[in-house]
Chains A and B, each alone.
Chain A
Amino acid sequence: MAVKTWTSERVTSADINTYLTNSGLVYVSQTTVGSGSATATINSCFNSTYDNYRVVVTLDCTAECEVRMKMRDASGADSTANYAHQRLLVNGTGTTAQRATGGTYGIIAFANSTTVSFSGDVLLPNVSTDATFWQMQNLTRSETIRIEMLNTLYGANKAFTGFEFTLSTGTIDSAVISVYGYRKP
């Protein structure tokens, strides 16, 4: 959408509809998860309307853990050994790096306490000719400031329609998972 220059004090319904239709980041879904679940699945959130998405998560859990991800389609979760992740943690003056390949799940965040928030982009999840790439940053809300980044890859060409989170240990106390799509030009 071209940049609009206002020439009148009146905003018409057509103007509003134009902005709603052409906004850059479009709400897709929001899921509230209560206590007792180890897995939260979000189905039918990826389709051809958008190529790239943003996922924002606020998570309280019962134990310190990894937050694991699997891609999903109509057949359910994909547990093939196509996942890899690279982690970068900068905490004070110390830096930690970690990598794993050939996993049956990806890691997209670390809950270094039982309260964590993370967000980032999911690139090309519904494009059958491309791999899926997650770029996430997470913040442990009760810890001191730090930088923690996870790049996670599903390294085969496949179209997915959803994803799921699973904790490595314990269960979710509460979570809010929001998905937005990047509008195509």
Chain B
Amino acid sequence: MRPQITEHDALTNQTIVREMTDAEYDQLLADGWTAGEEPLEPAPVEEPVTEEPPALEEEAGEA
């Protein structure tokens, strides 16, 4: 998200907060500004694996 800019004028003692213009934001990026750490994406939820027990082989009886 584009950051804001705080401007203070020492003559009038006025401070304003505004959105950066395209030119200011382009210059900010050209100077290498980064937004910082992005929120971590939640880890994918693994589906529980249900293993079916192997089918019991019937022991063939000896004839």
Contact = CB atoms under 8 A, between A and B. Distances in A.
Are A and B interaction partners?
yes
Interface of A: 28-29, 31-34, 36-45, 62-63, 68, 77, 79, 104-105, 162, 166-172, 177, 179
Given A105-B31, A169-B35, A37 B10 contact: no
B33 to A, nearest CB: 6
Contacts of B11: 43-44
B13 A29 contact: yes
Residue among B13, B27, B31, B36 with the most chain A CB within 10 A?
A: B36
30 contacts: A29-B10, A29-B13, A31-B15, A32-B15, A36-B17, A37-B3, A37-B4, A37-B6, A38-B3, A38-B4, A39-B24, A40-B5, A40-B6, A40-B7, A40-B8, A41-B5, A42-B8, A42-B10, A43-B8, A43-B10, A68-B31, A104-B30, A104-B31, A105-B31, A166-B28, A166-B31, A166-B33, A168-B34, A169-B33, A169-B36
Contacts of A41: 5-8
B5 A39 contact: yes
- The 5 A-B residue pairs with the shortest CB-CB distance, nearest first, are A38-B3, A29-B10, A170-B36, A31-B8, A45-B10
A63 B37 contact: yes
B43 to A, nearest CB: 23
A102 to B, nearest CB: 13
Interface residues of B, number: 25
Contact of B28 (A31, A38, A45): A38
A40 B4 CA distance: 9
Contacts of A168: 31-34
Contacts of A68: 31
Interface in B16-63: 17, 20, 24, 27-28, 30-37
Contacts of B4: 36-38, 171
A171 B19 CA distance: 13
A104 B20 CA distance: 19
